[in-house]
Structure 1
Amino acid sequence: MNHFIVLAVLLPLRTCYTTHSQQESIVFPVTYLNVSKELAFQRLLVEWDVGKSAHDAELAMLFEIQVRRIGETTTVWTEFHNVTLDKSGDPLHWMWDSDLPLECMSHSVRIRSKAEASKIWSEWSPWKTVLGLDTLNNSGPQIFPNEKIVEEGSDLTLCCIGRKGHIIEEFSLYPAPHVFNHTNSQIGLLTVKNVAHQAVPHITVYCRESCTEEECYDHAVLFVGKPPNIPNDFSCETQDMRTVTCTWSQGGDTYLYGSHSPKYTLSEEFSQNPIPCTVTCSEQCSCSWDIGQQRIYNITMTVENPLGKKTATDVFDVTHRIYPAAPFQLWEECRDTEITLYWKYQNKGFELFCQTEVVQPDGKVKLHNSSDSHLHYASITLSGLQPYTEYTARVHCAAAEHFWRWSEWSEAQTIRTMEAAPSGKLDIWREITQVQGGRNVTLFWKQAPGFRANGGSISYEVAWEKEEGASKLERMSFSSACNSTRISIDNHSYRVSIMAKNDVNYSLPSVLIIPRGTEKELSGSELQEEQINGTDDGIFISWDPRHMYDSYIIDWCNFPTLQPCDLQWKRFRPNTSSALINSAAFVPGVRYSFRIYGSVGNRVSLLKKKTGYLRELPPLFDPKVEKVELTFNAVTLSWDSYPTDESQSGFIRGYHVYVSPIQEVCSLQGSRKHVLPDNSVLCKYTIENPEEKRYTVEHLLSNTKYKLAVKAYTGGGETPIVNFIYIDTPFNSNMLYLLVLLVIVPSLVAAICHWKLNWVKDCCCPVIPSPNKSKVLSFKEFKIGSEKVLKMNLVPIKYRRH
């Protein structure tokens, strides 16, 4: 040891003469080591030194530091620490944060050193130990840490120290599902990975020794939270150039409350003084202070809790951060199409630019800008409004020179414009019925799309007079609840007008000319009614446009079978040639009739009549077969006149005739197969003429039982077959003639021939042993070569008369 001291003393004097090999062998062991603990941060504080000679040489040195826990065979931490010494001679320092509470176990530290130029390490210093509470004689088990604030997502190690001579039997967390059981140790350890916030204010730690007395238990609490978030909406502004208010949101929940909740402080860089304000928070935090003479600010807002600290800054000129107070005390002056709106505001010596929001009756919003201001109030005139209409208005303002943000809206004001005469015209229509000595005219009216009542109460006035010659003008008035009336006129041409009236004046009159005309001309009976088809959206109607008409009108009844039928009409522009008529009253299976009129100079002419269905349905009932005519191979069916008018649920397109034998599948020539739901097969014949009321089915079998049915069909199909007509075809008389001709006659001939056959046989083929004995044949034998040949001769027969 003395040898090293001498070298250390002489080193500064011989630095220039030390060889490289000598530098590699010089060591500077640790001469002083002290270890203490800072329990608030669970930190070991290590202080050591290597002697004055190393400091004087200002050596660059490397230290290896090891930490171990008493009772464990391996080190828990090893770290290399580089440092360049200086001549001050101050001791060296190092800190180590423990993941295990320092109270739980005794910790020891040792250090060795090496000059960077040397290859030789010094000897290890002796272990320096700081004792844990495990060495003390406690009165009961103790848990560390106790009431610790833990950051969510971190790892945590806890310990429970039992009394000497006792072991920890149970160590657990609630509600976290971690349980530690140990049966042979005074110290229990519990590690929780990725600590999560629970739906309770804190986590309870529970520890029990291997006994049941009260002193055998201990518990602690853990608070799991988050560090505060950076307030990203931090900003400052003024309403009156006297007070600055900074606002920000609290950010996400840190799960820490009470004394652990986030704390906010504000400071200002230019004045170097803390800002004298009290922070208030609900959902939004704020802080206010008097401006004084300062105009430029650099504000830093700091938020911190036990788990961390965050800051946000805002640099601004107060004159550019004016956020005016909301306008107040609105009042108005109204006319029929204009409103002048007034409001008051707090005049703080800066010019305002205001904006008025007007909500229209249809819900649309319009914005109007204004800068007209007086000493204590401002105003704006809103024009182009509708008479006797409610509008809702509100106002907000901003600084005119340096716009920062709009003020809050004023309270909304609902304003109604004044009344005016009704604008636009009523839409008028009529229905004419010929009666004895004249006509009854039912007048209908409704408000056209461009019509506006412009008043609170409205009534109607109907007037009519003859077009030619002097006649008295007739008038009738009706309340707003009426939309039709009936007048009686003679067969002259009349001019009918109708006006709407409110408390101010009349609207422009709507005029309709009722021309002279016969019942035939009025009804258009000479026009053929055309069939039309419906669609999913309505009933499509088209017509040929004519240049002389200034508009077209289509009328129809919503309920054709009722009286009144709820007559409806629509007008169309002169360049229109088609329309899709729809109504909530339209239903499938009902026939609707439409009349298309052309209008010119308030006179109308009937152009077309159309009829159709929204959707056709099958016929309501089947044709009734009145007559069945049978032959042995045909049947003729006749049915009475079948209705095809508007009482039907579709246009009758024709008929189907079905036929089949009772016992067999039908396969008649010229028919098509039709399969019933029960898989039986019928023959089907189609009659495409709805006027046809008779049909003959041919190629039937005689003496056979058949079933038949007649069905009408529409564009919506036909109803299922329920009832059949049953017939029996008669026996065919021609078959008896054929039977006699082909069976009986040949049989008689065969019998006669059989009777005569014996006589012929006796004459020609008697029963004889040799052909030579025949009465009619003779044979001679002669030879041809070596062959014998018989020659046959016919013997004449002598007939004997009886």
Structure 2
Amino acid sequence: MAVFLISILVVMLSHINGDNTAVPSLLPCAEVETQTPHVLLGSSATASCHIRENCPLTKGQEFHVKWYLNNLPILGNLSSNHSSQTYVAFIRSFTDAQGYLECHVCLEYDCQVVGGLQIRGGYPPEAPQNLSCLTNFTLPETVTCLWSPGHDTHLPTNYTFHTKRKHLSSVEMSAYTMPSGVHSITLLRPSFYLFSKMEVYVEAVNALGQATSQSLLYVPVESAKFDPPKILQMKPNTYGCLKFSWSLSKDQEWIYLRGLNVELHLHAINSEHSAKEKVILKKLNVHKDLETCGLLHGTEHQARIRIKYKQGRWSDWSNSAVGTTLEKAPTGRLDTWLKILEEETPNYYIIDMAWKPSKQFRANGKNILYFVFMVHQDTSKSKLCITSKDHCSFYINKHVQRVYLTVKNDAGAARPKAVPVLQTRALGSVSSMSVLPYSDRALLVQWEGPASPVLTGYVLEWRQLSANSSSLVSFHLLDANQSSALVSDGIEPYKPYEILLYTKYGKEIGSPHTDLAYSKQKAPSTAPTLIFREIWHSHAELFWNEIPLEQRNGIVRSYRIFYWEEQDGKVKVIESDQKKRRVVLRDLKPQAVYRAFIMVRTDGGSINGSFVTLQAGSVDAFSIILIAIPSCVGIILCLIIIISSSWLTKHTWLKIWPKVPDPANSSIRKWKSDKSLQDSNKNGQEPVLQFLSHFSLVDLLEKELETASDKTENWRRYSSTEEDYLPGGSQSSYPFSEEGSNAVPYATLVFSGPYRSQSSPPVYLRSDSTQPLLQEENLQSPSQYVNVCAQRVFFSTCQDVSEEQGEGLFFEGFPLLNSVDIKDFSCET
């Protein structure tokens, strides 16, 4: 074991010292060698392990040798010289950047390290690329050269920087060795001349080879990076031109160069063209003034410059300078939009007018004023408004057909533009319009225009809605063939915008199509507070105020109320109408405690309001009365209906409307005499009650009544008892018979006046019945089997006819039938 530890220690010491030759053993045992300690990655390699004769591990022992590379076994064999005990290892492909090769002596299953060495893999260096040098004029003056080393070699690579410069008739050469991994060098001023050519190149060397870069001919001043220049003065020269005076930095003022590259960046300040920056490149001598033209008139500009010489790098930007070009009268045209707001009086209009610069318009000055005026018939002018803004409102007479707009600055005024007063008519508008978010700061408006040959264009108007103040109106003038437009001026996310699209027909405009839109939406900033208006024992009414316009952040789509009883915990949801903003919570439990909150939703999200607590009211006396009265009325009505239905099923119903009597179709088909009923009663049979189904009321005049009385006496003389009609007990002589049962007798009441107001006793025309008339004086009560009908208003006797009575009674037995006005009342069973 001691020998094994000593062998490992020897191997470790050899690795630490980087010795690539055979490992010297403190105890002569083995020696490991290789011809290629640095191997090209992917190539093969060989190594040998020589076991000494006096090695204590192998002396007098049977052993064998094993090879390991980075703890992995590799192929090994015995050399031809067996007596020297030299063993060779063969590595087919070395792919590691660094490997440790070990030789092991094995006695049966016990193996021990007797030697080892380190092998490194890599690549030969590439020729350095992109060699460049830069001169720095800032003190101290230096030259810095850079290069690219190429791919990683995985081996230590040294770089040497070579310079060759001519000075008079001699050539000076210098070499600078750089540490491994450093790929740049900085030379101080004594090592180069500013205006002399210098040849430089870089050489790379490692264990597998070397490479040299291409030579670079370098003039230090031509590759110099200057300090930032400075602008001394900036002033107008002629119309649309500015002149710049500039110089190099203080440390470089001594340099005088021709053909210096100068780059000028120039942009207008506080102008609609300020986003457009003008770039000018020129070559000129140091200390020569720089002039540029074609600028906006009367416009303030900001400028800065930078410089370089030939292949040198651009310097940093100079200081900024501000200058203003000479003013000139405005040029170009303005786009205008005029509309009538309302009729203030029968003779005047309120006009709202807006304008904006077209692409060709140039203000050409700072102090810009806009004048709106009208011209009278005598060519005199009346000013309507003077403003520096892009809109104004004014009154005009209804007879005015056009107004004029002009713009002025300190240098003059532009040519006036005539603006027609467009009348709003009920003309065809766009059939459909949609506004969609195009980006966070833009809206896309699409529409379908009317099919009209006289359509001349569209006016697209938009403004931001605000509850505090009215925002400015922006507009676009569009052609008649357009069907979409992009709105981006002044558009901000989470802000509401009113979009209006007008159709133009010459000097008239149609009704606008209006829409509300957001470029981007999110949840409202706040939620409304629930307010209780009324609380009852079973319901409660809640309402809330509208969310302020600035805090909606989108179009409100719904209001939802969530409420629940604290003990039950079951949540109920009610969705409210967006315009009413009120709900009624129903089916509440008396004196129960409820909690509720509101949720407001837009297309961009939703927000919940704070919780509110309410307690339902108790049932008071007034509520009990309100509940009890309808309940009692309902119960009484039900009882009345039930009793009436029961009574109607068991009793006769009196029809109060007139009906023409038809004795042939009467329900009473037979009459029975009192005697027959009595006989049947005597025989122990229950008498069958017969009901009179018909009676008539007859109104007669006094003369007719007297005649009727005489005829009644005659009728009584011809009347006889039942036996007179039954001679010999035969039924054939009875005026009624079963065969003639369709003929129905009836009783007639005769009044001396209208029966409804009759005060004197009525006169009766008796039928052939032997039953005494009711309500006559000194008459006995009818028998128990006699039926009395119509007792509620009028009555007549209803007598049954037995089957034993004689033949039918003919209508000739009623002498007054043809002389009376019959008013019919029926009595049905």
Q: Tell me if both proteins adopt one fold, taking TM over 0.5 as the criterion.
A: no
TM-score by length of 2: 0.39
Greater relative contact order (CA < 8 Å, ≥ 6 in sequence): 2
Larger Rg: 2
TM-score by length of 1: 0.41
